[in-house]
């Protein structure tokens, strides 16, 4: 984690406290970061308004499994330990049409089983196909975030088929040697990862401050992978 990222995190933690957050916050990061955060907060005599739970990441795998989604982490290659994350929605139950269910006189106690895809069998043995009273839920979406990293083809295997991939593009393609020396990636390299992974959309960011305009970043990337957008602060992206 770079200095600007670290101080940005400290600022975010304290800002949430100033906004009187009370809900627990779970932070998953390299183990070394826990000491840095503690030192900074203690030095500034900062008392957070919410419980902060630190979870050190030491290996790739599942780090969260909730009711609606899972979160996995995977290693990327940078000068210091960095991790990428994949957020996957869980498949929602089928959507019930209560009016149709009433027509077939299906008891409410069976509704949950209908949402799980079961057919209903009446007392007379008549089968009511599930499709008659429910509709398929939207397909679950997935999003992968790649932190600071040098070009690494193995990332493509880890994020294969996600709906949206964020990949850093610190430099334009003409500075590929500088990118490699500083463990960063270029526009074309990010596009190649997206293409190899067969993702649906690519989001690029982490642009070097040496560039005043970003149009060329989008131009170079879309030459290789057309479904690309610039990561702009404050914008929302549909997948």
Residues in the chain: 239
Say if CB 93 and CB 78 are below 8 A apart: no
Give the position of tokens 């089968």: 127
- In Å, how far are 120, 152, 176, 179, 190 from 185, measured between CA atoms? 55, 9, 7, 5, 7
The DSSP secondary structure of 103-120, one letter per residue, reads HTT--GGGHHHHHTT--E
Would you call 4 a catalytic residue per the annotation? yes
HSE at residue 209, side-chain half, CA atoms within 13 A, is: 1
Alpha helices in the chain (DSSP H): 3-18, 32-43, 98-103, 111-115, 154-158, 176-181, 187-197, 215-222
- In whole angstroms, what is the distance from residue 100 CA to residue 98 CA? 5
Cβ count within 10 A of residue 166: 22
Active site residues: 4
């Amino acid at each position: 984690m770079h200095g600007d990222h670290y101080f940005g995190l400290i600022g975010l933690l304290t800002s949430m406290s100033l906004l009187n957050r009370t809900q627990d916050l779970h932070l998953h990061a390299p183990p070394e970061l826990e000491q840095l955060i503690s030192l900074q907060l203690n030095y500034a005599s900062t008392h957070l308004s919410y419980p902060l739970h630190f979870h050190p990441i030491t290996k790739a795998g599942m780090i969260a499994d909730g009711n609606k989604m899972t979160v996995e982490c995977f290693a990327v290659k940078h000068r210091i330990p960095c991790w990428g994350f994949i957020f996957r929605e869980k498949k929602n139950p089928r959507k019930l049409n209560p009016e149709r269910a009433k027509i077939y006189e299906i008891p409410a106690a069976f509704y949950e089983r209908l949402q799980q895809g079961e057919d209903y069998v009446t007392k007379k043995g008549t089968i009511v196909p599930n499709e008659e009273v429910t509709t398929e839920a939207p397909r679950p979406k997935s999003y992968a975030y790649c932190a600071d990293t040098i070009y690494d083809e193995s990332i493509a295997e880890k994020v294969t088929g996600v709906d949206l991939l964020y990949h850093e593009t610190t430099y334009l393609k003409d500075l590929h040697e500088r990118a490699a020396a500083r463990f960063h990636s270029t526009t074309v390299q990010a596009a190649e990862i997206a293409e190899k992974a067969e993702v649906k959309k690519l989001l690029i960011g982490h642009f070097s401050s040496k560039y005043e305009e970003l149009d060329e970043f989008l131009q170079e990337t879309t030459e290789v992978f057309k479904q690309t957008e610039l990561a702009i602060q404050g914008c929302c992206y549909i997948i």
